[in-house]
Amino acid sequence: MKATVYSIDGKEARTMELDDAVFGLPVNEDLIWYAINNELANKRLGTACTKDRGEVHGSNAKPYKQKGTGRARRGDKKSPLLVGGGTIFGPKPRDFSYSIPKKAKRLALKTILSLKAQSQTLMVVEDFSIESGKTGELARTLNNFGPPGRTVIVLKDDDPMLKRAAANIPWLSYLSYNRLRAHDLFYGRRVLLLETAAKNLSAFYGEGGAAKEAGA
């Protein structure tokens, strides 16, 4: 499929061919949901912790005698039925992460890229960098592509200065072409794909890249 390449000024410069194996696939909503939920589960800390009656600090002595008071029987003050006692079936630290098949994750990412290309929320932009690392310079560049909003930049490589400039823009996320995140891509209202990153994506996620990974 053909896509328009925009200059850094936000003007149409030329067209380029995008790989249909990456940007022209039918949308698979179930697979997208599967990949996003996997990422969210893997980000959960799972550090919530409560104390049961055996862990609460307190005396093990009976608060009053077993019989003759007319009151309910009490073993100790750490009973879950009393204020300050333990918690019944409370949360404990656990690991929520799980893995999904690599082929499913790759297909989900390609499906999201295809969805963005078909909905015209993906823009191919000429390669640029922020040599000064200044947030203001990057913000002025992004204004050429539309009003501020949830934006994702797909980088061609590890660009520390551009990442530094993007760190202070709350509505901007940056991803390397070989380390995409389904959640950020799917919920990004605008995806700015650097021209070299588009070529790298075709090589990395296309048929050649899949065959190379399978061989490895």
Q: What is the pTM of this model?
A: 0.82
Q: What is the pLDDT of residues 145-197, one digit of tens each?
A: 988 889 999 998 888 999 999 999 999 999 999 999 999 999 999 999 999 99
One domain, residues 78 and 152: no
Q: Residue 12 forms beta bridges with which residues? A: 6
One domain, residues 112 and 131: yes
pLDDT value of position 158: 84
| Ranges 5-14, 105-114, 200-209: which has the least confidence | 200-209
- pLDDT tier at 137, thresholds 50, 70, 90: very high
Q: What is the CATH number of the domain that holds 122?
A: 3.40.1370.10
Q: Residue 15: inside a domain, yes or no?
A: yes
- Calpha distance 115→191 (Å, rounded): 11
pLDDT value of position 164: 92
Give yes or no for residue 94 having a pLDDT over 50: yes
One domain, residues 24 and 121: yes
One domain, residues 168 and 77: no
Q: Are 184 and 36 in contact (CB under 8 A)?
A: no
Q: Residue 40: inside a domain, yes or no?
A: no
Amino acid at 176: S
Q: Residue 39: inside a domain, yes or no?
A: no
Average pLDDT, the chain: 90
Give yes or no for residue 212 having a pLDDT over 60: no
pLDDT value of position 28: 92
Q: Residue 35: inside a domain, yes or no?
A: no
Q: What is the pLDDT of residues 41-66, one digit of tens each?
A: 999 999 999 999 999 998 889 989 99
- Domain with 81, as residue range(s), is 45-95
Spacing of C-alpha 174 from chain mean position: 11
One domain, residues 145 and 73: no
Q: Residue 108: inside a domain, yes or no?
A: yes
Give the position of tokens 């963005």: 116
Q: What is the pLDDT of residues 60-87, one digit of tens each?
A: 899 899 999 999 998 898 999 989 999 9
- Calpha distance 114→153 (Å, rounded): 16
One domain, residues 85 and 178: no
Of 75, 95, 115, at which residue does a domain stop?
A: 95
One domain, residues 210 and 164: yes
Q: How many domains does the chain have?
A: 2
Q: Residue 119: inside a domain, yes or no?
A: yes
**CA dist 99 to 40, 132, 209, Å?**
12, 39, 21
One domain, residues 196 and 154: yes
